[in-house]
Structure 1
């Protein structure tokens, strides 16, 4: 095979869980060009990925820029598909283990005949996967199952990975050094989640941070989702982050503002252990192979636990993270540190 297209139109965590498949395709066909078609929300995840030849990014109408019309979005998308049709792909993988009619439509618009994906009952998929065709329970395992449609090689599932540039790492290091001095061990605490079930109170975070900083050379960087991250009308968590910082009353606790996924990746790279909720931020930290303690709410942990790195999951029968005690969280952090 010469040209292979992978389509993944979901969010940040989903694309992180697709990075082993991207690497696996390149290992199966070292001389092939691996292309990716994704939406603009998750594009920062795969920047600097050495296994991708070229990425095409389309924008959903609801994510259009303030000065961009819906018509402008659709014209921009049409131009992308004209480019894709000119490449002549040998195969396209709809890299979602559940049926996605929109991804199938995109594959057809790209002019690809050999389409691999989850069986949807709609004509057009040449290699249709039923539930029995997927291996394992985790999103990574199921997504990686698609590789067997184009290769019979026995390739082990790689880690999930993101690839910060040297410049991004250096910029984040300088930023951290200005915020925290004389700290040998850095905890990261990310306080945001789209789901109310995965949220912990500011007061609980303040107490756990006091325990984190009980050792003189331990510091904490506080992360949060800025305005518009979780949805176009989301106000962000800056106010909660500022409230948390005030409650901590320590010069070894600092707010680490981020304006992009790449800045968050750089900030996480500065941390040894990260406390956060299940979601895109957890998968990014896992892709950096960080030690993780994660609030899981009612998420299926067998399907979505961190794939790489050491981790502990905090989950209650109620699915409410507020039912997790400070002592339970601290015990997990103490075990993994």
Structure 2
């Protein structure tokens, strides 16, 4: 085994999470070449990672056209690797693996992977730390000894950190001010804490701190963000820089690095904050396993889930939308207060 390609496509949080595999391999086998195949839009979270030898980026144009996709595979994958570790384990990555010509191919067990991979690993992702264990088990299927996992990290240069400071100053946010990044929306409506409750949360943080607020969102989400903003109290609105948002993902990371905490919906932004060593308070959607996705828990990070406060609801047949409506802010406001006190 000399050259390894790890495949993890699509979601930013997944791409970032899987970077711990590179550190795990490189610390034991520094002589191995370990490359990463990702979607191009996720590149900012892996840029400058010292454990990744080469990053193979799949563009939207290549992904959407079957002929370009086949050309991409021939140019970037075929005959270049003796080992494929397919963390993504979906149809597209199956195709890449099939066309790779690699001798060793490992993926998670699915009914359609039988003929492609010679090592298939069953999921255990609903267990505690299951998301991490699932990935580690892919390595342990082909290496002779167990591996340990360190929390993923995002690597910003000194120049990038300075760029983030200058961006904030340019937008009227003084470095001496407490600054909270609020994840006001999830990656989908089903992963988004009810908007009126989120406004209550922001008002609560404003009452208990002297900080200012940035909202993490993209322009197409402006309508929902404006709804939350208008629901907040007038005093809170004075401290929200609603029109201040970074133009790109790497720019966002440069700004996030200077925040005192990230508070909001669980998802990719939470993982990014953790990877920058920023304290996080994350709100899990009812259908997302906290046990599996509260990655690398520690004293400075907190996470809440409806089952933490109303476990009896999960023994009944209740739609996830209704479960979220019953997850009122008062249930966890004391936990949020403890978090705010710990970040002072």
TM-score between the two structures when normalised by the length of structure 2: 0.80
Question: 1:336 pairs with 335, 339, 342, which one?
Answer: 339
Deviation at 1:248, TM superposition (A): 4.6
The verdict on how the C-alpha distance between 1:274 and 1:321 changes in structure 2, with shifts beyond 3 A counting, is: farther
The verdict on how the C-alpha distance between 1:7 and 1:62 changes in structure 2, with shifts beyond 3 A counting, is: closer
Deviation at 1:183, TM superposition (A): 4.6
What whole-Å deviation, never above 9, does each CA across 1:209-248 have from its counterpart, x for those lacking one? 2332335642222221x14xxxxxxxx2223334544545
Question: 2:85 pairs with 86, 93, 107, which one?
Answer: 93
Cα contact 2:79–2:102 (8 A) shared by 1: no
Cα contact 2:3–2:83 (8 A) shared by 1: yes
2:103 is matched with: 113
The verdict on how the C-alpha distance between 1:110 and 1:27 changes in structure 2, with shifts beyond 3 A counting, is: same
Count of aligned pairs: 318
The verdict on how the C-alpha distance between 1:197 and 1:62 changes in structure 2, with shifts beyond 3 A counting, is: farther
Structure 2: runs of 5+ lacking an equivalent? 308-312
Cα distance in 2, alignment partners of residues 323 and 269 from structure 1: 33
Root-mean-square deviation over aligned CA pairs: 2.9
Instruction: Please show how residues 83-232 of structure 1 align to structure 2 within 5 Å.
Output: 83-87=76-80, 89-96=81-88, 99-121=89-111, 122-131=114-123, 137-177=129-169, 178-181=171-174, 183-214=176-207, 217-224=210-217, 226-227=218-219
Deviation at 1:202, TM superposition (A): 4.3
Cα contact 1:134–1:142 (8 A) shared by 2: no
TM-score between the two structures when normalised by the length of structure 1: 0.82
Give secondary structure in 1 for the equivalent of 2:269. Answer: helix
Instruction: Please show how residues 211-290 of structure 1 align to structure 2 within 5 Å.
Output: 211-214=204-207, 217-224=210-217, 226-227=218-219, 236-245=220-229, 247-249=232-234, 250-255=237-242, 256-290=244-278
Which structure dedicates a bigger proportion of its chain to helix?
2
Cα contact 2:177–2:211 (8 A) shared by 1: yes
Question: 2:304 pairs with 298, 309, 313, which one?
Answer: 313
Give secondary structure in 2 for the equivalent of 1:85. Answer: coil
1:22 is matched with: 22
Structure 1: runs of 5+ lacking an equivalent? 65-69, 228-235
Question: 1:294 pairs with 282, 285, 301, which one?
Answer: 282
Cα distance in 1, alignment partners of residues 116 and 126 from structure 2: 20
Cα contact 2:128–2:291 (8 A) shared by 1: no
Deviation at 1:198, TM superposition (A): 3.1
Cα distance in 1, alignment partners of residues 34 and 62 from structure 2: 28
Cα distance in 1, alignment partners of residues 148 and 213 from structure 2: 36
